Each structure stands twice: as structure tokens, then as C-alpha cells.
């Protein structure tokens, strides 16, 4: 037997019909019914619209009104409960009209018995549950589509912003290159050329070309990872050599911003298997990110050590840190933390940290971010296994 009774409301101005319906319900086994009777036709529609019952039994003949008009009005006012029309007439047209009006079923009183009544009530309630489930799924799907549309709009906005930034980032190095070429042309036109001037121009061009090459390398790796075409090329790599190469590459940028830098390595640096070129890219991007977001004169540290069955590279800075709401989104492609007042911070494509996470995950490792010491700055940790597990992205 059901633990909760099914709440029914009978709308009928004839007490004998109420007694008959009550007796029929009492004969139904394994189901409990809580039957209320409403003989007041004027309150019928309001009672249905209030929705305090599981199902409504509506008599066809109600004095100056009929059950069909009550059902139609209740439906027009948003009634959601299932309604069954009861009639003493043997007319097929009433059956069709009842379905058209919104009734869940149609029962003829002269044929009514406990089995037929119970079957009609069960069917009507099932149909209501199916309708509610369908409505719920439609609402969920609508919400999903709304979220998808919002995501597409955001992706389109970020794509446009990215294209604009890409054009800006590629054009920026060209200006000093063009200026250096112009200086070299003037020097060549008025010999003898000053070797120091030529060397400065050469160094300027070399730095800017290296910046463009690194920018394009990142974009090519992004494209290959997105298309599933990248394969890592593993080999034995000493941790200290890997760290030293990354530091060597980033030192000029740190020197430009007058950063204090500290590196700590284990006493006996281990060797592990990785794609050396990609891991150099990972460490460079993490160090460049720290240097970019740390104010001139700030402090940056690279701390390498064993951690369980892997090696952890921790990059710590004392910059402003990453806002809590951005600590996961910062790893999304084309995402940056925008800060005013520093052109260095405003630059970049927003692909560096995305590359870091994807390349580390391809090695079977993981990347994490948390606030730096005493809650200031950021601490990025790239952890990689000493022995890559099966399924890592190695060729």
C-alpha cells in the first residue's frame, strides 16, 4: 500500500454521486485515497487552479454549468492537475470534447466500477508525471542551450579579442626592428659606422626576432595540441639542466624588470624522462608569467625538489597574485588577468598557462596554483612523475 494517500477532489452537485464515488474508491485495494467533495460549482475553477489535490473528478452536469466549461476555464488559467470528466450520458461527442478541453480521461457513470476508476486515476497521474518530466527536461535542455549560447558568445568575444591582441603582439616587435634597420642604414651611408651602434642594433633585432619566434612556436603548439597531433619525444633529462636552461632564457626579461631571483635545487638532482624541449617551454612560460605579473624590483623563486614518486617545480613570486575567482579560469586558453598601469601586464596572448597545463598533463603530471607565502603573490607548481605512466602522450 502506498504510504501517502492520493488526494482527490470530486466536483459534483449530487450527493449520491459523491457517496457512489467514495464507495468505489473504498473497494480499491493497495491504494489509499483522500476524497474531498465540492458541490459548489461557483468555486470549482478556483479549487482546481489552486492545485491542492493530485487529481480532479469533474461531473458533466452541474446545473447551470457543465464540466467541459469548467475544465476549459481551469486549463486557460494554468491549472496543472489532471482532470477526469464523469458523465451519465452515452455520447461519443462528449468524450472527444473532453479530450479537446484538456481532460486526462472520460468516464461514463453507468459503466463505472472500482477497477475502471482505479485504472483511469492511475493512467491520469502517470500522464501528469510524464508531462512534468518532459517539461523538466525541456527546461533543463533550454538552460543548457542558453549556457551553450552564452559560452559561444564568450568564445567569439575572446576570439576577436585574441585576434586583435595577436596583431598587436606581432606588430610590436616590428617597430624596434624597423628602427634598428633604419639606424643601420644611416650608419652605412656615413662610414665609418660605429661598431657599438651596429652591435646594439643587431642585439635589438635578435631579441625581437626571438620574441616573435617564441610567440609563433606557442601558437603552433596550441594548434597541434588542439588537433591531437602533438607527440612528445621523451628522453632522460637532468632536472638541474632543465632548470638552468629555462632560467637562462628568462634572465634578460627579469633583468629588464629588475627582479630578484632565487633558484634552489636538490643536492642530488634526479634525472627523469620527459620531452626536454616541451618542458623547457613549460618552465619558461611559468617563469615568464611570474616575471610579467610581478612589479619591477619584486622577488621570484624557482624551487625544485622530489615530491613522492615525482619531481615538483615550484615558481613563487611576490606579485599581486591571481584573484580567487580566476584561479581555475587562468588556465583557459586566451585568458589573462588584466591589470592597469603596466604595459607588460597588458601584453600577451593568454596561451602560456594553457600550454603549461596541457603539456604537463601530456607528461602524466599536473599543475596547481595557490597563493604565495603569507597570502601574497602566487605559487605555481608543475609536478611530473619520474617514470611516466602508460598513456602519457609520448611517441
CB atoms within 10 A of CB 131: 13
Q: Are residues 64 and 169 in the same domain?
A: no
- So what's the pLDDT on residue 316? 95
Q: Does residue 327 have a pLDDT over 70?
A: yes
**8 A C-beta contact, residue 58 and residue 44:** yes
Looking at the structure of the chain, the number of domains it has is: 3
pTM of the predicted model over 0.85: no
Q: Are residues 349 and 265 in the same domain?
A: yes
Q: Are residues 176 and 40 in the same domain?
A: no
Radius of gyration of the chain (CA): 38
**8 A C-beta contact, residue 362 and residue 340:** no
Phi, psi of 313 (to 5 degrees): -105, 110
Residue 378 lies in a domain: yes
Number of H helices, E strands in the chain: 10, 14
Q: Are residues 278 and 185 in the same domain?
A: no
Angle value at C-alpha 323, between 317 and 326, nearest 5 degrees: 110
- So what's the pLDDT on residue 368? 93
CATH of the domain at 344: 3.30.565.10
Residue 188 lies in a domain: yes
Residue 226 lies in a domain: no
Least confident of 53-62, 114-123, 209-218: 209-218
Range of the domain at 183: 157-216
Q: Are residues 361 and 256 in the same domain?
A: yes
Higher pLDDT, 114 or 395: 114
* pLDDT, averaged across the chain: 85
Taking residues 94-101, report their average pLDDT.
85
Higher pLDDT, 364 or 212: 364
Strand segments (E) across the chain: 6-11, 33-38, 55-59, 61-62, 65-66, 83-87, 105-108, 235-238, 260-264, 271-274, 299-307, 310-317, 366-371, 378-385
CB atoms within 10 A of CB 376: 12
Q: Are residues 161 and 246 in the same domain?
A: no
CB atoms within 10 A of CB 286: 25
Q: Are residues 249 and 317 in the same domain?
A: yes
Between CA 393 and CA 359 the distance in angstroms is: 9
Amino acid at each position: 500500500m502506498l504510504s501517502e494517500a492520493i488526494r482527490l477532489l470530486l466536483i459534483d452537485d449530487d450527493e449520491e454521486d459523491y457517496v457512489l464515488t467514495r464507495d468505489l474508491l473504498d473497494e480499491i485495494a493497495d491504494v489509499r485515497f483522500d476524497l474531498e467533495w465540492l458541490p459548489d460549482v461557483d468555486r470549482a475553477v478556483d479549487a482546481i487552479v489552486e492545485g491542492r489535490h493530485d487529481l480532479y473528478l469533474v461531473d458533466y452536469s452541474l446545473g447551470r454549468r457543465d464540466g467541459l466549461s469548467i475544465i476549459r476555464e481551469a486549463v486557460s488559467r494554468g491549472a496543472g492537475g489532471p482532470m477526469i470528466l464523469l458523465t451519465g450520458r452515452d455520447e461519443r461527442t462528449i468524450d472527444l470534447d473532453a479530450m479537446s478541453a484538456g481532460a486526462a480521461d472520460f468516464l461514463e457513470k453507468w459503466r463505472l466500477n472500482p477497477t475502471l476508476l482505479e485504472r483511469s486515476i492511475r493512467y491520469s497521474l502517470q500522464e501528469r508525471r510524464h508531462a512534468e518530466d518532459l517539461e523538466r527536461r525541456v527546461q533543463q535542455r533550454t538552460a543548457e542551450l542558453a549556457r551553450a549560447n552564452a559560452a559561444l558568445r564568450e568564445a567569439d568575444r575572446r576570439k576577436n579579442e585574441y585576434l586583435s591582441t595577436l596583431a598587436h603582439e606581432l606588430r610590436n616587435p616590428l617597430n624596434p626592428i624597423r628602427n634598428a634597420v633604419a639606424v643601420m642604414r644611416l650608419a652605412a651611408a656615413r662610414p665609418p659606422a660605429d661598431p657599438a651602434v651596429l652591435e646594439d642594433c643587431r642585439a635589438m633585432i635578435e631579441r625581437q626576432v626571438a620574441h616573435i619566434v617564441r610567440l609563433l612556436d606557442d601558437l603552433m603548439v596550441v594548434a597541434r595540441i588542439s588537433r591531437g597531433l602533438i607527440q612528445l619525444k621523451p628522453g632522460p633529462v637532468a632536472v638541474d639542466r632543465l632548470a638552468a636552461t629555462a632560467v637562462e632564457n628568462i634572465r634578460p626579461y627579469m633583468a629588464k624588470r629588475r627582479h630578484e631571483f632565487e633558484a634552489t635545487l636538490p643536492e642530488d638532482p634526479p634525472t627523469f624522462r620527459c620531452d626536454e624541449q616541451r618542458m623547457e617551454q613549460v618552465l619558461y612560460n611559468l617563469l615568464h608569467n611570474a616575471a610579467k605579473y610581478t612589479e619591477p624590483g619584486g622577488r621570484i623563486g624557482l624551487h625544485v625538489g622530489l615530491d613522492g614518486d615525482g619531481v615538483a617545480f615550484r615558481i613563487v613570486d611576490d606579485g599581486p597574485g591571481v584573484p580567487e575567482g580566476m584561479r581555475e579560469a587562468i588556465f583557459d586558453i586566451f585568458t589573462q588577468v588584466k591589470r592597469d598601469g603596466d604595459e607588460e601586464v597588458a601584453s600577451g596572448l593568454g596561451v602560456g598557462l594553457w600550454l603549461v597545463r596541457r603539456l604537463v598533463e601530456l607528461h602524466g603530471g599536473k599543475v596547481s596554483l595557490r597563493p604565495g607565502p603569507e597570502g601574497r603573490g602566487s605559487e605555481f607548481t608543475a609536478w611530473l612523475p619520474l617514470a611516466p605512466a602508460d598513456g602519457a602522450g609520448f611517441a
